[in-house]
Structure 1
Amino acid sequence: MNTDERAVWGDADVSSGKDAGDENFPVGSLLISRRLRPHVHAYYDFARVIDDIVDTDRLDAEAKIARLNAMEDVVLGRRAAPARRDAQTAVRVGRTLAQTGVSTPTATDLIVAFRQDAVKNRYDSWEELAEYCRYSANPVGRFLLELHGEDPRTFGPSDALCTALQVLNHLQDCADDLRNLDRCYLPRPWLEREGVAVDDLRRPATVPGLRRVFDALLDRVDMLNREAASLPGLIRDRRMRMEAAVIVGLSRRLAARLRRQDPLAERVKLSRKDVLGALAGAVRTLV
């Protein structure tokens, strides 16, 4: 790399090394056809790397945005990528988009969200949070649906599901996000209304006002999950229909767990029983 390129890419990648097994929900699972799985994994690897770029403490905000911009340029074919893992994920996802005809914004919209994460660490309304999810989460569902050639009618309930999953993840990680990244996605006016503050997320257990904020967000998630319930019935591909049904079931189960458990006191996560229950429920979508 020349000096200018090194200034953008740095001397080493910042990818975390996490893989699909670190996620709550299936990523390119066996429910997706073997023919399409490599494209799903290429997309996932790209999303993981750009997420790692914005979450690393080894880059300042300006450097993060410069590297995200470079990743976008590689996806769009506007620049070459160095021969290293993080940059090559952009090459592979660009190749996937070209081979499959899936729309470019399903990848580049993720970069919009992560640029925002580099400079914004507080949210002042549900609408702001939903707009963030529009770019950080909804493109993932649209990528899968476009990859399977599904009708655009599926996009609305898919967006609802993906936004629900993103908010659930914010609730799971609310203490870690604040401690490690000084980032809080809970709307500040909601906290103020209940007489609590962002710093209450640093406590070892949830205080009553904060619990009410969590439950108010879960009320929104429940509404989104109800909208998402129609998604499997709109999907033509049998495997993708089952995948969607499983994820709808897991989203509902995780929301219920977050109602009962305290994300400050413990890591709230799905159990094997939850997964088996969601699978059993999904089977009914094939009958």
Structure 2
Amino acid sequence: MTAELAVAYHECRQLAAVHGRTYFLATRLLSAERRPAVHALYAFARTVDDIVDHADAIELANTPDPAATAYHVQDCAELLDRIEKQLRSRLEGNPLPDQIGEQRHRVLLAVADTIERYDIAHQHFWTFMDAMRMDIVGTPQHRNRYATMDELREYMRGSAAAIGLQLLPILGTVVPVAEAEPAAAALGEAFQLTNFLRDIAEDLDRGRVYLPADELAAFGVDHDLLVHCHRRGHTDQRVRRALAHLIAINRDIYRAADRGIDLLEPRVRPAIRTASTLYAGILDQIEHSDYAVFRGRAVVPRRRRLRVAAVEFGTAALRGPR
């Protein structure tokens, strides 16, 4: 590995450590040679997500000049296009240009190396980028409401399932990769839906609802009621029932995903079980708070995170090397 590439992977590790605590803890259970690649995938997704968040901030600033706001939001969309174009070019064997900033340059360098090293299908990255464009106002793909679970799953196919499919070749499988892909995609979906349930208030602030309207309507919940609850910091009983229903759906997705963990190489299973258990634990915290998603963000306590990781690590150590 060149010195430049080593620096690039170190940058990705730092991004994962600072911004993805649960994710980073789970990667500590992976073998040392796999960790940099997983950090690179995280850093790439985080870099793109930060651009989308920046577009949100511009949109929500309510500047006096709407044309100027639209112009700067378009800058964010064009930056996504540029990043995808440069990653495609790099994967075709061309050097990366320097016009995207030092940190982004290093992240692209590391993720391109990871893609080539583990022979990850390029399409998973383009599918992810398309989903991210759906979050930027003014793009042809833009969506901020989802009528059905099928519509939401189409978004999650790029924003979450694609991440699971990117990870699969790095983790390794004991069966042909295609056999393990449905469970890997399901785990990405499960994580994403948990985020949506936890972050309802934050998403409302951004003008988005990532919960299917028809599932909410079955319990008498609509956008106006969610906004009302957010303003009051109180969860209406109808919203509680809807959240309980969606948490049950979310747990079904985790169960489908967890069945696929045994298809992974034995050495990586503790890390993925840890990540799955900890993320599913956010649903427990939502329930324990009596669905107080408008008062604060549900977080798995640090003590529990460390205990789950220790149990998985200890169990793996008792089984011995494989």
Sort the TM-score into its range (normalised by shorter chain).
0.7 to 0.9
Provide the C-alpha distance between the structure 2 equivalents of 1:108 and 1:54, rounded to a whole number of angstroms. 16
| Alignment match of 2:243 (pick from 214, 225, 232) | 214
Confirm whether residue 62 of structure 1 aligns to residue 70 of structure 2.
no
Comparing 143-152 with 81-90, greater Cα deviation is found at 81-90
Aligned length in residues? 269
TM-score by length of 2: 0.76
In structure 2, give the amino acid aligned to 1:229. Answer: D
Residue of structure 2 equivalent to 1:193? 218
Which structure is larger by alpha-carbon Rg, 1 or 2?
Answer: 2
* Displaced runs of 4 or more, over 4 A: 283-286
Confirm whether residue 236 of structure 1 aligns to residue 254 of structure 2.
no
Deviation at 1:96, TM superposition (A): 2.2
Give the SS at the match of 1:233: helix
Confirm whether residue 85 of structure 1 aligns to residue 102 of structure 2.
yes
Check conservation: 1:164, 1:225, Cα contact below 8 A.
yes
Alpha-carbon distance change, 167 to 41 in structure 1, aligned in 2, over 3 angstroms: same
Provide the C-alpha distance between the structure 2 equivalents of 1:81 and 1:110, rounded to a whole number of angstroms. 23
Residue identity over aligned pairs, in percent, reads: 27
> After the TM superposition, which residues 129-144 of structure 1 pair with which residues of structure 2 at under 5 Å, given as runs?
129-144=152-167
Deviation at 1:105, TM superposition (A): 2.5
Provide the C-alpha distance between the structure 1 equivalents of 2:15 and 2:238, rounded to a whole number of angstroms. 34
Confirm whether residue 112 of structure 1 aligns to residue 157 of structure 2.
no
Alpha-carbon distance change, 158 to 277 in structure 1, aligned in 2, over 3 angstroms: farther
Residue of structure 1 equivalent to 2:22? 25
Check conservation: 1:121, 1:182, Cα contact below 8 A.
yes
Alpha-carbon distance change, 235 to 19 in structure 1, aligned in 2, over 3 angstroms: closer
In structure 2, give the amino acid aligned to 1:194. Answer: F
TM-score by length of 1: 0.84
Residue of structure 1 equivalent to 2:11? none
Deviation at 1:126, TM superposition (A): 0.8
Any stretches of 5+ residues in structure 1 without a counterpart?
A: 1-16
Confirm whether residue 160 of structure 1 aligns to residue 158 of structure 2.
no
Deviation at 1:32, TM superposition (A): 1.9
Give the SS at the match of 2:23: coil
Provide the C-alpha distance between the structure 1 equivalents of 2:123 and 2:22, rounded to a whole number of angstroms. 22
| Alignment match of 1:123 (pick from 137, 143, 146) | 146
Alignment RMSD (CA, Å): 2.4
Give the SS at the match of 1:182: coil
Provide the C-alpha distance between the structure 1 equivalents of 2:79 and 2:100, rounded to a whole number of angstroms. 15
In structure 1, give the amino acid aligned to 2:211. Answer: L
Alpha-carbon distance change, 237 to 145 in structure 1, aligned in 2, over 3 angstroms: farther
Any stretches of 5+ residues in structure 2 without a counterpart?
A: 1-13, 59-68, 91-95, 137-141
